Amino acid sequence: MSYRRYELLKELAPTMVDNALIISNIGFPSQEMYEIKDSPKNFYMLGSMGLSSSIGLGLSQSTDQTVISIDGDGSVLMNLGTLSTIGNYAPKNFILLLVDNGAYGSTGDQPTHTSGKTDLAAMARAAGIESVHVTQDGGAKAVLEQCMGSDGPHVIVAKVAPGSPKLKPIPMDPGYIRDRFKQEVSG
Amino acid sequence: MNTVSEELLKELKANGADYFASVPCKLLGEMINLLAEDNTISYTPVAREEEGLGLCAGAYLGGKTPVIVMQNTGLGTIITSLFSLGLFYNLPITMIISHRGTPGEKIGTQVPMSNAVKPLLDTVGIPYFAFSDAADVAKVGRLVQHAQVAQRPVAALLDFDFWGKG
């Protein structure tokens, strides 16, 4: 069986949820995080595709806790400018986990440009981010743990296969997601 | 005597604003310089308005009181996320918007979007308040509080007359 985002998140979720605040991208990433390990420390995006990295950046500037934005190749391509903002303004507690499966998964696995010639890790470096890592499949776990234990900002481009399990939409009201997350942040 | 930009920043901060993201406009030039020099707030210049809305959303989740400073033309880049982030999650974000294309404007291409700004904000459902007199600067500052009460993004439209450039 191929190693997809679901298998990756299943492997990383315990480490992330116990030790960080998480912004989960719209669509399957949020649904998968909900199914794997729901927690008040997960903020599930139900809209605003492209803004996972930006929401995580704003949060990381406002708390001392480690913040992980789970983003995708299609989403980052929609908001490339934010890589330059991260490169210049992201604090040391920010991690962008860019799950790169080369496809717009939630809309039927249409290919993104990273399945062609585009290299998001190189773009992140060129945007001014110094700690950029590329991993394949389960190799992301050791790198994420290393990043969580050191000063960032960090970007991990985690290469996985496209495809997603069939999951249900998150049965939560956006106000509930907001309030329980906000309460978790402020303790 | 303080400038309009100095007074505006003072009033926004007095009403609790402590996190700012901005995209440039000629009318906002001095304000943006003041933000960059102010060590009592968090300030991040962003590449595009939608990104700034994302930063403000994250900052609010982190306990801050956010303000996005932008030109009205940027509204075109931000509408989808005003719906699916700002309004859907009821996020109190104050939008300080320079209103180009109003009398005093020298660039014709600013006028069509200028005319569309209020209908667009009405359609999206963002409360907005337009100001043409710098004497009203305290009222603009109070919108930070109003966003908390309204539990949604709230916009101020500040035209050439407000900035003393009419």
**pLDDT for A111-131, tens place per residue?**
999 999 999 999 999 999 999
DSSP assignment string, chain B: ---HHHHHHHHHHHTT--EEEE---GGGHHHHHHHHH-TTSEEEE-SSHHHHHHHHHHHHHTT--EEEEEEGGGGGGTHHHIIIIIITTT---EEEEE-TTSTT---GGGHHHHHHHHHHHHHHT--EEEE--GGGHHHHHHHHHHHHHHTS-EEEEE-TTTTT--
Domains of chain A, residue spans: 5-186
Task: Report the alpha-carbon distance of residue B105 to residue B99 in Å, rounded.
Answer: 10
Q: Can you say how many angstroms the Cα of residue B106 is from the centroid of all Cα atoms in its chain?
A: 22
What pLDDT does residue B108 have?
96
What's the pLDDT band for B1 if we cut at 50, 70, 90?
Answer: confident
Domain A5-186 has CATH 3.40.50.970: yes
Lookup result for tokens 């776990």: A141
Q: Give the C-alpha distances (Å, rounded to integers) separating B145 from A33, B11, B117, B134.
A: 35, 11, 23, 19
Question: A1 pLDDT exceeds 80?
Answer: no
Give the pTM: 0.97
Is there a contact between A82 and B51 if contact means CB atoms under 8 Å apart? yes
Tell whether A91 is within 8 A of chain B (Cβ).
Answer: no
Tens digits of per-residue pLDDT, A8-44? 999 999 999 999 999 999 999 999 999 999 999 999 9
Tell whether B152 is within 8 A of chain A (Cβ).
Answer: no
Q: Would you say the ipTM is above 0.95?
A: yes
Count of CB pairs separated by less than 8 Å, A with B: 124
| Residue B24: closest CA among B47, B40, B57, B54 | B47
Residues of B within 8 A of A84 (CB-CB) are 47
Task: Report the alpha-carbon distance of residue A25 to residue B107 in Å, rounded.
Answer: 39
* A145-162 average pLDDT score: 97
What's the pLDDT band for B166 if we cut at 50, 70, 90?
Answer: confident
Do the Cβ atoms of A157 and A132 come closer than 8 Å?
A: yes
| Closest Cβ opposite residue A185 in set B45, B61, B85 | B61
* Closest Cα in chain B to A87: B46
Tens digits of per-residue pLDDT, B103-124? 999 999 999 999 999 999 999 9
Ordered structural domains, chain B, with CATH: 4-158 (3.40.50.970)
